[in-house]
């Protein structure tokens, strides 16, 4: 009797590409979705800003009446802060931080996905007010009692949206803290972490301590509006100043939440394109931590005119917080000093960040002087100060990150010519828009008005500011075209197109699902640089380490061996990036292994057949490039 033998084969389940992205927990895909969603909200918020400036280009009502104008600046401010800058920087953090610390993913991948999906949901809720014909119009600060007495669902949608965004950021902060503290590669001590990781870590602590109170306050505001809670409503015995205290206890650390990761980006870009290590690494780390600490002591400088705060205390801390910021300015300038500077697009945006943020920082120091603050409070001076920090600072840092890490994320470099055109238009537009607003503020023009008298002498400055705003809008067109042609072109950037320093460039571009086939071991702040150029250092500085072999295996697996000399593995030079001794690694202290640090074969640790005592042969081309 004939029989049939079944040979079942395991079927391969193929997910659709859309389903794969919608259900992913891969930190890299989540990072890309953060960046994409934030960029779309940036375009939307930018259109709102153009309507604002079109209305103010000349006296009289041009396009929108007063209530619609209130909606425009409320939605513009909320969108740019909560739906653009925060998610965009979170997206870059999601993609880059695990790579820079040698981790396979974030500590809590599913929570990471949940944090992201709350953002577009919150954005849809916020803008659904246009569907129901009622949009929030109490300003992005939503001061009570105005935010209580405003009727309609628009303000409630604003509140629920911010509660969702606050919850998302709190979960994301916990995830970043757990990832950075518990998932670093072997040898990556805290004082060897890349500066971008440090800024994300301090930002996460700021979010963790500042956002819960604000999220609770927005819930209280919702209760006041709908259930007669009386927390902030003076008609029911509430205190509207309490809302200001809670809002700015979050709102001023929020400024550093928006700027610190951008500072981290600049601190990654400048050393690479100056061909020098970051000047004063430890001072920079301490300054970052101090900014986070002092940030909780300056919230009430937004409330000088209320008469409800102790002016000397908050004026002093406002001046004090400028000190660590000034330290960073010197770090950046001396990093470039006598460096071999390459004016690539990321470098131009980093330099633009420094120039613009310096103006914004000086504005803040002026506002710390109490009598001066009384004069310029709620004027266009404050608008100029805020936008020099967030546009001239955060936005330029974001574009530096985009051009710098785009090859890592997508495997292709953006066009340099279009990138430089983008930079020039944005830099000119930013200063043309916001510098005249200093003069308007000094002349007494208050913010949040849609009309002004033609005989005040403000028409020319407002028109100039509006021309600058449209120049900013035009500057985005080269970027969009750049993205379009790059995505249609070949993905041939390679693993390390910038000849960079940190671990993310040791993986392929884009990286595989779990980033590294071999967990890299780190022995300095610039592990990839040390691997590539450690053999060029004087012999007495070369420390032999098995880390070079481990990292090289990972590099070879992903093709990221650009700059590595041929003819054998290059011994890394751990601990020499800044010519410092490492107290946390005793075998590095005097250039040779100390007693008790032998391997399982009894040989001194770090001296292996793969990493001999004699340095590997020097590649002449690498030496020539290094000595230029």
Q: What is the pLDDT of residue 12?
A: 54
| Greater model confidence, 301 or 46 | 46
Q: What is the pLDDT of residue 23?
A: 93
pLDDT at 571 over 80: no
- What is the C-alpha to C-alpha distance for residues 254 and 235, in angstroms, rounded to an integer? 30
When pLDDT is cut at 50, 70 and 90, the band that residue 520 belongs to is low
Q: What is the pLDDT of residue 272?
A: 95
Which tens digit of pLDDT belongs to each residue from 259-291?
999 999 999 999 999 999 999 999 999 999 999
When pLDDT is cut at 50, 70 and 90, the band that residue 609 belongs to is very low
Question: Residues near 219 by Cβ (< 8 Å), separated by ≥ 6?
Answer: 159, 163
Which tens digit of pLDDT belongs to each residue from 469-490?
999 999 999 999 999 999 999 9
When pLDDT is cut at 50, 70 and 90, the band that residue 523 belongs to is confident
Question: Residues near 588 by Cβ (< 8 Å), separated by ≥ 6?
Answer: 523, 543, 574, 575, 581, 582
Q: For residue 307, how many other CB atoms are within 10 A of its CB?
A: 8
Average pLDDT over residues 379-400: 95
pLDDT at 564 over 60: no
- Sign of the torsion angle spanned by Cα atoms 448, 450, 455, 461: positive
Enumerate the domain spans of the chain.
21-488, 517-628
| Greater model confidence, 617 or 355 | 355
Of 545, 270, 524, 266, the C-alpha closest to 395 is: 266
pLDDT at 586 over 80: no
pLDDT at 579 over 50: no
What CA–CA distances, in Å, run from 537 to 360, 411, 506? 41, 31, 21
pLDDT at 88 over 50: yes
DSSP per-residue letters across 316-332: HHHHHTHHHHHHHHHHH
Q: What is the pLDDT of residue 516?
A: 84
Q: What is the pLDDT of residue 483?
A: 97
| Greater model confidence, 553 or 184 | 184
Question: Which helix (H) or strand (E) element contains residue 477?
Answer: helix 459-488
pLDDT at 374 over 90: yes
Average pLDDT over residues 241-254: 93
Please report, rounded to a whole number, the percentage of residues in the chain having pLDDT higher than 70.
82
pLDDT at 582 over 70: no
pLDDT at 566 over 80: no
| Greater model confidence, 540 or 180 | 180
pLDDT at 220 over 70: yes
Q: What is the pLDDT of residue 387?
A: 95
DSSP 542: P
Q: What is the pLDDT of residue 86?
A: 96
- What is the C-alpha to C-alpha distance for residues 196 and 404, in angstroms, rounded to an integer? 13
Q: Which residues pair with 446 in a beta bridge?
A: 379
When pLDDT is cut at 50, 70 and 90, the band that residue 364 belongs to is confident
Question: Which helix (H) or strand (E) element contains residue 448?
Answer: none
Give the mean pLDDT of the chain.
85
- CATH architecture of the domain with range 21-488: Up-down Bundle (1.20)
Question: Residues near 65 by Cβ (< 8 Å), separated by ≥ 6?
Answer: 450
Highest mean pLDDT among 4-13, 134-143, 511-520: 134-143
Average pLDDT over residues 493-502: 92
Are the beta carbons of 234 and 240 closer than 8 angstroms?
Answer: yes
Which tens digit of pLDDT belongs to each residue from 144-164?
999 998 888 999 999 999 999
| Greater model confidence, 325 or 562 | 325
Q: What is the pLDDT of residue 538?
A: 58
- What is the C-alpha to C-alpha distance for residues 406 and 478, in angstroms, rounded to an integer? 16
- Tokens 């590649």 belong to residue: 619
Q: What is the pLDDT of residue 371?
A: 92
Q: What is the pLDDT of residue 62?
A: 86
- Tokens 């989540």 belong to residue: 30
Tokens standing for residue 237:
């015995």
pLDDT at 61 over 50: yes
Of the chain, the end-to-end C-alpha distance in Å amounts to 83
pLDDT at 546 over 80: no
Active site residues per annotation: 76, 105, 140, 168-169, 252, 254, 256, 267, 301-302, 325, 328, 447
Average pLDDT over residues 122-139: 93
């Amino acid at each position: 009797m004939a029989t049939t033998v079944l040979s079942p084969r395991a079927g391969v389940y193929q997910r659709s590409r859309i389903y794969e992205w919608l259900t992913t927990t891969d930190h890299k895909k989540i990072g890309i979705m953060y960046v994409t969603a934030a960029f779309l909200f940036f375009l939307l918020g930018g259109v709102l800003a153009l309507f604002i400036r079109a209305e103010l280009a000349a006296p009289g009502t041009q396009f929108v009446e007063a209530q619609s104008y209130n909606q425009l600046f409320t939605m513009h401010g909320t969108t740019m802060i909560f739906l653009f800058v925060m998610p965009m920087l979170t997206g870059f953090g999601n993609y880059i931080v695990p790579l820079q610390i040698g981790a396979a993913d974030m500590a809590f991948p599913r929570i990471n996905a949940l944090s992201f999906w709350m953002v577009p949901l919150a954005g849809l809720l916020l803008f659904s007010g246009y569907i129901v014909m009622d949009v929030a119009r109490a300003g992005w600060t939503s001061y009570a009692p105005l935010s209580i007495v405003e009727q309609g669902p628009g303000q409630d949608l604003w509140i629920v949206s911010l509660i969702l965004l606050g919850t998302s950021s709190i979960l994301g902060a916990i995830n970043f803290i757990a990832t950075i503290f518990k998932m670093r590669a072997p040898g990556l001590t805290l004082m060897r972490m890349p500066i971008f990781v440090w800024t994300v870590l301090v930002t996460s602590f700021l979010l963790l301590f500042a956002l819960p109170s604000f999220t609770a306050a927005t819930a209280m505001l919702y209760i006041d509006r709908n259930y007669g809670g009386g927390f902030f409503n003076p008609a029911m015995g509430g205190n509207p100043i309490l809302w200001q205290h809670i809002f700015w206890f979050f709102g001023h650390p929020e400024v550093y939440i928006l700027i610190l990761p951008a500072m981290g980006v600049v601190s990654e870009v400048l050393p690479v394109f100056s061909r020098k290590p970051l000047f004063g690494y430890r001072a920079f780390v301490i300054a970052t931590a101090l900014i986070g600490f002092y940030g909780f002591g300056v919230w009430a400088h937004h409330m000088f005119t209320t008469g409800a705060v102790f002016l000397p205390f908050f004026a002093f801390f406002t001046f004090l917080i400028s000190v660590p910021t000034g330290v960073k300015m010197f770090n950046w300038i001396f990093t470039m000093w006598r460096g071999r500077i390459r004016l690539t697009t990321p470098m131009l945006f980093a330099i633009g960040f420094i120039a613009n943020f310096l103006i914004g920082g000086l504005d803040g120091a002026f506002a710390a002087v109490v009598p001066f603050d009384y004069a310029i409070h709620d004027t266009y001076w404050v608008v100029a100060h805020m936008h020099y920090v967030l546009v001239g600072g955060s936005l330029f840092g974001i574009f530096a990150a985009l051009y710098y890490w785009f090859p890592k994320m997508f495997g292709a470099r953006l066009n340099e010519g279009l990138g430089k055109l983008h930079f020039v238009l944005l830099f000119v537009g930013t200063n043309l828009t916001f510098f005249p607003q200093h003069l308007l503020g000094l002349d007494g023009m208050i913010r949040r008005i849609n009309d002004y008298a033609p005989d005040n002498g403000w028409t020319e400055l407002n028109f100039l500011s509006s021309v600058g705003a449209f120049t900013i809008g035009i500057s985005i067109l080269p970027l969009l075209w750049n993205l379009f042609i790059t995505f249609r072109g070949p993905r041939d950037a390679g693993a390390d197109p910038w000849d960079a320093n940190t671990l993310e460039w040791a993986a392929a571009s884009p990286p595989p699902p779990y980033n590294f086939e071999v967990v890299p071991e780190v022995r300095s702040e610039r592990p990839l640089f040390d691997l590539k150029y450690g053999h060029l250092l004087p012999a007495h500085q070369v420390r032999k380490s098995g880390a070079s072999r481990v990292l090289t295996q990972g590099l070879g697996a992903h093709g990221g061996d650009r700059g590595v000399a041929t003819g054998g593995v290059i011994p890394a030079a751990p601990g020499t990036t800044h010519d410092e001794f490492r107290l946390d690694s005793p075998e590095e202290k005097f250039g040779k292994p100390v007693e008790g640090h032998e391997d399982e074969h009894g040989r001194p640790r770090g001296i292996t057949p793969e990493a001999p005592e004699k340095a590997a042969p020097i590649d002449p081309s690498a030496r020539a490039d290094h000595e230029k």
